[in-house]
Copies of this chain bind each other. A is one copy, B any other.
Amino acid sequence: MTTDPFDTGPTGTFRALCRDYPDGTVFRGADGFRSLWGPVFYRGRANGTARLLVIGQDPAQTEAVTRRCLSGQAGRRVQGFVEKLGYTRRYLMVNAFLYGIYNQSMALPHLLDPAIQAYRDAWLLAALAPGKVETVVTFGTPAFNAWTAFTATPAGAAASAGVLFHKALHPTADKPGGPITRQDLLDNWNVALQFLHPQVQKPDVKKPLVPYGSDFTPAELPEIPARDLSFGFPAWMRSTDFWASMSPTPGTERANISVEVP
């Protein structure tokens, strides 16, 4: 017998946002978006109980299967980060973009398109409205710019007043051959942790800060909690990486998804 708690789903305003959302006429294929995979709305507590709000960039193929943000390689890195702050449960993660991106140079300029921003801001406002969020972390430049644009609106400025905020590098910013090394990424995340940890007031679990070393340890890549997915998702989807791949045409709007059972 397996006993797996599961996400019982969004409530209130969050539920309405999962029912009424922009489609492929807003997130256009011609603009670099892969709306064909469907929207991916959130991971965590979409019910008004979140203390931490995380903003990521856009969903990839893993998230198109789990239908939750940040549940693949980037997601497990972020999960380790938020658990170092003591947020093991009461967090909400959303993305700057509702749909996956197949061409960043085409898609990123649309970050502040009115319809894209309005919908994203509705999520951010819903997250902050209950007055429970004390910490906001953005991962990557589009997420930071999304937060900045939100807080520049009157409603966003009011809702975010007094919230603890920090921006961090994208969880997979350390691309092979790129300018950012694994150590650069972890140093950046350590700066974020050292800024945030002493100021977190209401973590789910109080624990001393343990910074990253020169690489992610296995304990720093925890599984995605069962309670963050819907019912019935097999455990290996939460505890292993790279089980979903694009085939045979990555790089185009219509990329297929292949799920490899471990």
A residues with CB within 8 A of B: 1-6, 8-10, 15, 18-23, 26, 36-41, 65, 67, 230-234, 236-237, 247, 254-262
Contacts and interface: CB of A to CB of B under 8 A. Distances in A.
Nearest to A243: B256
A41 B232 contact: yes
B6 A232 contact: no
Contacts of A261: 36-37, 254-257
Given A8-B15, A9-B9, A67-B230, 20 more contacts: A1-B22, A1-B23, A2-B20, A2-B23, A6-B18, A6-B19, A9-B230, A9-B231, A36-B261, A36-B262, A38-B234, A38-B237, A39-B232, A41-B231, A247-B258, A256-B258, A256-B261, A257-B259, A258-B258, A258-B259
A241 to B, nearest CB: 16
Q: Most chain-B Cβ atoms within 10 A of its Cβ — which of A2, A23, A37?
A: A2
Contacts of A8: 9, 15
Contacts of A232: 18, 38-41, 67
A4 B22 contact: no
Given A232-B67, A256-B261, A260-B256, A1 B21 contact: yes
Chain copies in the assembly?
Answer: 2
A256 B259 CA distance: 6
A107 to B, nearest CB: 17
A98 to B, nearest CB: 9
Contacts of A39: 232
A14 to B, nearest CB: 10
7 contacts: A1-B23, A5-B19, A6-B18, A6-B19, A38-B232, A255-B261, A258-B258
A227 to B, nearest CB: 10
Nearest to A257: B259
Contacts of A38: 232-234, 237
For the complex of A and B, list the 5 residue pairs with the smallest distance between their C-beta atoms, beginning with the closest: A38-B234, A18-B231, A2-B23, A257-B259, A39-B232
Nearest to A235: B38
Q: Most chain-B Cβ atoms within 10 A of its Cβ — which of A2, A22, A231?
A: A231
B233 A67 contact: yes
Nearest to A46: B231
Contacts of A1: 20-23, 26
A231 B19 contact: yes
A36 B247 CA distance: 21
